[in-house]
Amino acid sequence: MRLVETVKAMTPKAMRRVLIVEDTPSDARQSIAVVKKLGAQEVTALNNIASAMLLLQDVVEGKQPPPDLILLDLSFPKESGFEVLRFWKSNPKLKAVRVVVWTVMGETEQKLCNFFGVDQVIVKWAGPRELEEALRAYTIAPDSAAS
Amino acid sequence: MSKLPEIIQNHEEGIRSEWLKAMSTTVRRSDLMTDSEIQSQTRELLAAIVAGVKSRDITDLDAQAWTQTREVLQSISASRARQGFTPSETTMFVLSLKQPLFTVIRKELSKTPDIVFDELWAATLLLDKLALLTTDAFLETREQIIFRQQQELMELSTPVVKLWEGILALPIIGTLDSARTQVVMESLLQAVVQSNSRIAIIDITGVPTVDTLVAQHLLKTITAARLMGAECIISGVRPQIAQTIVHLGIDLSGVITKARMADAFALALQRSGRAVVATQNGAGAKKQEAKKEE
């Protein structure tokens, strides 16, 4: 049982359903393009924290299927992306959802992300190519999918 | 060529029994170790010394031939440091070997008094080096113990208590330095995440002084917690500390401060939409008590 769990944990999870929480239109467009390129079939992009929280609430209540991955920005004019991280961390039903933070941020914010145990933190200034490279780890490669 | 190796090898048992006798009058601590323990330690160490002197290089203890002796001595010193022996008692364990060894040297070389001095000098050098090694190993173990205790104290000194659903308290006792503030900050933020709390009370009643650096550390913690969506309240600001803060020109205007933890807790409850009220039973009991007093 333990071995199976370890293997599962090591196997890249499919990135079919992706939730993007991003308020900058250009960044949203870029990230949608990247996840679609990597094989995401169902992409939901939301530009505010409140909507993201409502969606996740629906997921917890079983009204919506959970996303495989959340690509989250932290800086928003009203609430911060940490609200999403709080909700994600405190709901065991969202444990299987992977969270990648994509944001312009300092060292403190990066450290705080570690406290929440997010899967990865990618800095925006590195560009969309870096994002694509990082997110590739969350997709199933064609040959492993076939096997 | 030194005759010391041969002398030690030939009189190993005799030296050991005299050594045990010498120790019984100087450093024997029957309260800390048994006879069998000391017997086995002396046997082990003397055997290692015999192995070392066979190399004929009796002054260079860093040489390969002395590895066993070094290891045995380090292990004996470490165990004595843990058992509660004093440094001098531990060193005397080795130094009390001098008298029996010198007696044997004198007996063996009585016909050649010129050589006696050289051999005694060689034996002194060897035992002094072994004694120094003992002290080093003893201190190293003590330092390890102190370091471990420091770590434990550090962990114990930063408890994060859950006062209510969504309300945490962090009572800080003792001086805050950079390293400790880092631990305080991390345990608080960790607890905020784990318990999904919205309010954290940092109680500084037990902090003797607040300087600019400590205040900066506190403000950093508060900012980080705020980023995570948790508000911090500082409680236990005593008049002296308030004066210091004003004197140093530290700006705490964006931070909620309270004199007592009770006030901070009341505010935290109020902010989370709760309040503490006296029950009818409690109020009734008080009235009855008041009547009785009348």
Chains A and B: how many Cβ contacts under 8 Å? 30
> Quick check: is B168 in a domain?
yes
- Going A95 to B183 to B208 to B241, the CA torsion angle's sign is negative
Tell me, what's the pLDDT at B31? 64
Quote the CA–CA distance of B234 and B168 in Å, as a whole number: 12
Q: CB contact, 8 Å: B283 with chain A?
A: no
Residue A114 has pLDDT above 60, yes or no: yes
Residues B12, B28: Cα–Cα separation, whole Å:
21
Tell me, yes or no, if A109 comes closer than 8 A to chain B by beta carbon: yes
pLDDT digits (tens, 9 = 90+) for A15-31: 889 999 999 999 999 99
Residues 6+ apart with CB under 8 A from B152: none
The verdict on B143 and B38 lying in the same domain is: yes
Cβ–Cβ below 8 Å for A86 and B190: no
Closest chain B C-alpha to A143 CA, distance in angstroms: 39
CA nearest neighbour of B257 among B213, B210, B191: B210
Neighbours of A82 (CB within 10 A): 25
Examine the domain organization and report whether B173 and B60 are in the same domain. no
B58 and B195 belong to one structural domain = no
At B34 the three-state DSSP class reads: coil
In the predicted model, what is the mean pLDDT of residues A64-87? Answer: 91
What is the overall mean pLDDT for chain A?
A: 83
What whole-number distance in Å separates Cα of residue B79 and Cα of residue B237?
Answer: 46
Identify the residue whose tokens are 């060689």.
B122
Q: What is the pLDDT of residue B29?
A: 63
Among residues B160, B224, B167, which one has the least CA distance to residue B198? Answer: B167
Considering B151, B174, B198, which residue would you say is the last residue of a domain?
Answer: B151
Residue numbers of the domain that contains B208: 161-275
For residues B52 and B67, give the distance between their C-alpha atoms in angstroms, rounded to a whole number. Answer: 8
- Is A82 in Cβ contact with B189 (below 8 Å)? no
Contact between residue B97 and residue B103 where contact means Cβ atoms under 8 Å apart: no
B156 within domain boundaries: no
Q: Which of residues 39-98 of A touch B (CB under 8 A)?
A: 79-80, 82-83, 86, 89-90
In DSSP terms, which residues pair with A120 in a beta bridge? A100
Domain end point (choices B100, B122, B151):
B151
B25, B59: one domain: yes
Element (H, E) at B275: none
Question: Which DSSP letter does residue A14 get?
Answer: P
Look at A82 and B223 and tell me if their CB atoms are within 8 Å: no
Q: Are B190 and A115 in contact (CB < 8 Å)?
A: yes
User: Which pLDDT tens digit goes with each residue over A50-61?
Assistant: 999 999 999 999
Q: How far is CA A21 from the centre of its chain?
A: 8
B99 and B235 both lie in a single domain: no
User: Does B179 lie in the same domain as B144?
Assistant: no
pLDDT at A14: 75
pLDDT string in tens for chain B (294-residue length): 678 888 888 888 889 888 888 877 666 666 667 778 888 888 888 888 888 887 767 777 787 888 888 899 888 888 888 888 888 888 888 888 999 999 999 888 888 888 888 888 888 988 899 899 889 889 998 899 899 988 888 777 778 899 999 999 999 888 877 777 778 888 889 999 989 999 999 999 888 888 788 788 888 888 889 988 899 999 998 888 888 888 888 887 788 999 899 999 999 999 989 888 888 776 556 666 666 666
Residues of A whose CB is below 8 A from B193? 86, 89, 115-116
Q: Residue B213 falls within a domain, yes or no?
A: yes
3-class SS at B28?
Answer: coil
pLDDT of residue A142: 38
The reported pLDDT for the residue numbered A130 is: 87
Residues of B in contact with A79 (CB under 8 A): 229
CATH number at A13-142? 3.40.50.2300
| Number of domains making up chain B | 2
d(CA A44, CA A58) in angstroms, rounded, equals: 14
Q: Is there a single domain that holds both residue B140 and residue B197? A: no
A111, A95, A98: which is closest to A138 by C-alpha?
Answer: A98
Confidence (pLDDT) at B269 = 94
Residues A1 and A124: their CA atoms lie apart, in Å, by 39
List strand residue ranges (DSSP E) for chain B, in order: 161-164, 167-173, 199-206, 231-235, 256-258
- For B75-123, the pLDDT digits (tens) are 888 888 888 888 888 888 888 899 999 999 988 888 888 888 888 888 8
Residues B95, B169, single domain; the answer is no
Structure tokens at B77: 């010193």
Q: Tell me, yes or no, whether B287 lies in a domain.
A: no
Distance in Å, alpha carbon of A39 to nearest chain B alpha carbon: 32
Is A112 near chain B, with CB under 8 Å? yes
Token pair in block for residue B136: 């080093």
What is the DSSP code (8-state) at residue A70? E
pLDDT at A72: 94
In a domain, B281, yes or no: no
Search chain A and give the residue with CA nearest B198.
Answer: A86
CATH at B74: 1.10.490.130
State whether residue B109 is helix, strand or coil.
coil
Measured between CB atoms, which of A80, A111, A115 is closest to B229? A80
Contact call for B229 and A82, based on CB within 8 A? yes
Q: Which among A76, A86, A94 is the top mutation candidate for probing chain B, defined by the most B β-carbons within 10 Å of its own β-carbon?
A: A86
**Angle at CA B241, nearest 5°, toward B237 and B245?**
105
Please tell me the total number of residues recorded for chain A in this structure: 147
Q: Are residues B23 and B96 in the same domain?
A: yes
Residue B228 sits at the chain A interface (C-beta within 8 Å): yes
Q: The CATH number of the domain where B209 resides is what?
A: 3.30.750.24
Q: Please indicate whether, in this complex, the C-beta atoms of A86 and B229 are within 8 angstroms of each other.
A: yes
Same domain, B127 and B183: no
- The reply to whether A108 touches chain B by the CB within 8 Å rule is yes
State chain A's maximal CA–CA distance in angstroms.
46
Same-domain check for residues B184 and B106: no
Smallest Cα distance from A116 to chain B, Å: 6
Q: How far is CA A112 from CA A55, A96, B14, B198, B255, in A?
A: 24, 20, 68, 15, 20
B216 close to A (CB below 8 A):
no
Q: Do B118 and B235 lie in a common domain?
A: no
Q: Is residue B150 a contact partner of residue B89, using CB atoms and an 8 Å limit?
A: no
Taking a C-beta distance cutoff of 8 angstroms, is the pair B264, B258 a contact?
A: yes
Buried b (16+ CB within 10 A) or exposed e, B129-154: bbbebbeebbeebeeeeeeeeeeeee
